[in-house]
Amino acid sequence: MLFPQIRLQSTFAKTELEIQKPVQQIEQPKAELSMEQPKAELTMRRTAGRLTIDQTQAREDMDLKSVGRRIEETAQLGRQDWLAGLARVAQDGNEMMRIEHGGGAIGSQAKRNSEGPPKEFNIGWIPSHFSVKINYEPGRVDIDVRERKPVINAKVNKPVHEYTPGSAQVNLANHPSLEIDFENLRHVGTGGYEQKI
């Protein structure tokens, strides 16, 4: 006995994708930078120190006197001696005027004129202490600095951006299909009619 059969054979549809990737390019140009540093202004004013040393007194203590000083001292000494001589002669004359009163005027005058004043001696320093006069005026330095700020110029460059978008195309690689096949299929009609399909 043969059973009727229906055979189905199908083919699925196949799609294919055609993809084009996106392209992106980014370029960052370097920034343009310029720097300039002006020089600072520096001014200096200097007042020199002054040292004075006066050793006139020390030289005089060692009897190394200038001509002017020697003339001045000699003139002063001569005047003092002259005045002392005048006083002595006047005193001697007064004593001699009163010789009749006694008192040994001639003897006392002879003794006084023959003997000098008593000699004095003491420790001395040549030159004497602090005979060299030292004076110092310190110098001074005035410094004036004027700063100059740096000059900075910066130019920022924007990035160069190029973008090509991607795309995707969908195509049908195989169309779907369905095949139907019949076997042992009969059509039985009225009146005993039979037909094989």
Mean pLDDT lowest among 74-78, 93-97, 132-136: 93-97
In a domain, 99, yes or no: no
In a domain, 48, yes or no: no
d(C-alpha 72, C-alpha 148), whole Å: 65
The arithmetic mean of pLDDT across residues 111-126, rounded, is 75
User: Dmax of the chain from CA atoms?
Assistant: 228
Position 1 pLDDT exceeds 60: no
In a domain, 96, yes or no: no
Position 4 pLDDT exceeds 80: no
Mean pLDDT lowest among 67-71, 108-112, 176-180: 108-112
The arithmetic mean of pLDDT across residues 45-60, rounded, is 90
The arithmetic mean of pLDDT across residues 95-115, rounded, is 80
pTM, two decimal places:
0.37
Tokens of 177: 């299909």
In a domain, 70, yes or no: no
- pLDDT, residue 192, reads 67
In a domain, 20, yes or no: yes
Residue scoring higher pLDDT (33 or 128) = 33
Cα four-point dihedral sign 25, 26, 32, 33 = negative
* Residues 154-180: tens digit of each pLDDT: 999 999 999 999 899 988 888 888 888
Domain that holds residue 23: 1-37+157-197
In a domain, 144, yes or no: no
- pLDDT, residue 155, reads 93
Long-range contacts of 186-194, Cβ-Cβ distance < 8 Å, separation of 24 or more: 186/4
- pLDDT, residue 193, reads 66
Q: How many domains does the chain have?
A: 1
d(C-alpha 167, C-alpha 15), whole Å: 16
In a domain, 121, yes or no: no
d(C-alpha 127, C-alpha 147), whole Å: 56
Residue type at position 154: A
| Percent of the chain's residues with pLDDT above 90 | 41
Average pLDDT, the chain: 86
Mean pLDDT lowest among 9-18, 41-50, 64-73, 115-124: 115-124
pLDDT range class, residue 197, cuts 50, 70, 90 = low
The β-bridge partners of 183 are: 5
